[in-house]
Amino acid sequence: MQFKDAPPDHEDTQYSSAERSAAASRSTWVSVVVNTALSATQIVVGALTHSQGLVADGIHSLSDLVSDAVVLFANHHSQKEADEDHPYGHQRFETAASLVLGLILLAVGAGMLWAAVLKLQSPDSVPQVHGVALWVAGAALVSKELLFRYMLMIAKRVKSSLLVANAWHARSDAASSLVVGAGIAGNLAGFPLLDPIAALIVGLMVGRMGWQFAWDALHDLMDRAVDEEEVAAIRQTLVETPGVIGVHDVRTRRMGDMIVVDAHIEVDARLTVEAGHDIAVAAQHRVMARHRVLNLMTHVDPWKRPDLDHQLPAQTGSVS
């Protein structure tokens, strides 16, 4: 999954697994508290004031609690150390959780759409909404926007795609509250169908967000490469390693929020195998220190100066 609003510099500040886990837990628990209060208030007030849009928004907030539970569960399991069955660690647990989160949002959106369509088929049954619903929708809008900004700040700081997904889910909630507020205002102004129409729009927004998260997570589970800018930054770090003459065939794949890299590096063919190996190790350490790379597998290729080919002994193969 790609980062929204990611900074252009791909040399990442390093955070330990414990720091990333603590940041994820802290921001997610804040979301749990906010969404618990909002969902309870919106559903109760929406039912009492006859606002389908507010009830739909409350259900949306309730779905956030489910997504928060998914985040906490994934955050706990993704921090496990590598073992015999998972030699690269458990980072993809977060990607799988993002896929689950997307599917949950798709289901919630479909349910909202169905309820809104049924209401629109019987326009005479749409009741007048009480003015209190509009105040609750406004308060929910402000709360969700502030929650989004807080969660995105934490997500970008620790470079967590799962937290980014959860933050943008909060932003979708803020947008849905804006739509619901407009629908309630329209209902109060004498256009009763605007309230279920607002519920319909919220359902579409939730479904669209769920599709995006699920689709991105599915591609990441199929070893999608990182963007070209980040690949170029990794390649530049390799080229700058003392002893590396050239770099080619740099391949990347996502492992949760980390990256696994394969690369061919070219070194002077006159070097010993041990010297070539030392250069490869140095390149690995530099890349893992400067970028969010979990592991770098290097393939060392001998490089011969054209003007010295006749002076070099014949060599076959390359050193990995």
Does 232 fall in a domain?
A: yes
d(CA 234, CA 205) in angstroms, rounded, equals 36
Question: Within a domain: residue 265?
Answer: yes
| Under 8 Å between Cβ of 221 and 92 | yes
122 vs 271: which has the higher pLDDT: 271
Q: Which of 205, 221, 237 is the last residue of a domain?
A: 221
Position 201 scores a pLDDT of: 83
For 200-203, the CB contacts below 8 A with 24+ separation are 200/112, 200/113, 200/116, 200/117, 200/120, 201/176, 202/53, 202/56, 202/57, 202/60, 202/112, 202/176, 203/56, 203/109, 203/110, 203/111, 203/112, 203/113, 203/115, 203/116
Residue 11: inside a domain: no
- Looking at residue 10, what is its pLDDT? 45
Q: 79-109: per-residue pLDDT in tens?
A: 666 666 766 666 677 778 778 878 888 887 8
In a domain? residue 9: no
Helix (H, G, I), strand (E, B) or coil at 12: coil
Q: Do residues 180 and 300 both lie within one domain?
A: no
Residue 81 has phi, psi (to 5 degrees) of -70, 160
Boundary residue ending a domain (221, 243, 275): 221
The Cα–Cα gap between 39 and 47 comes to: 12
On whether both 67 and 156 belong to a single domain, the answer is: yes
User: How distant, in Å, are the alpha carbons of 71, 112, 167, 285 from that of 272?
Assistant: 49, 67, 51, 20
Looking from the CA of 314 toward its CB, the CA atoms found within 13 Å total 0
Cα–Cα dist 113/111, whole Å: 5
Q: Which single residue is written with the structure tokens 């070099």?
A: 312
pLDDT, tens only, 233-280? 999 999 999 999 989 989 988 877 778 899 999 999 888 889 989 999
Residue 3 has pLDDT above 60, yes or no: no
At 101, which CATH number? 1.20.1510.10
pLDDT at 89: 60
Residue 29 corresponds to which amino acid? W
**How much is the mean pLDDT over the chain?**
78
Whether 172 and 235 map to the same domain: the answer is no
Domain around 187: 17-221
Same domain, yes or no: 148 and 25: yes
Residues 113 and 235 in one domain: no
Per-residue confidence (pLDDT) for residue 87, from 0 to 100: 63
- The model's pTM is 0.59
Number of domains in the chain: 2
| 158 assigned to some structural domain | yes
Q: pLDDT at residue 74 above 70?
A: no
Q: At what angle do helices 52-78 and 161-188 cross, to 10 degrees?
A: 170
> What pLDDT does residue 173 have?
73
DSSP-derived letter for residue 251 is E
Same domain, 159 and 278: no
* pLDDT at 315 exceeding the cut of 50: no
Domain end (from 170, 199, 221):
221
pLDDT of residue 285: 92
pLDDT digits (tens, 9 = 90+) for 133-187: 889 888 888 888 888 888 888 887 777 766 777 777 677 777 778 888 888 888 8
pLDDT of residue 15: 56
DSSP SS3 for 245: coil
- Return the CATH number at 268: 3.30.70.1350
- The number of beta carbons lying within 10 Å of the beta carbon of residue 179 is 23
Per-residue pLDDT tens over the stretch 26-41: 877 888 888 888 888 9
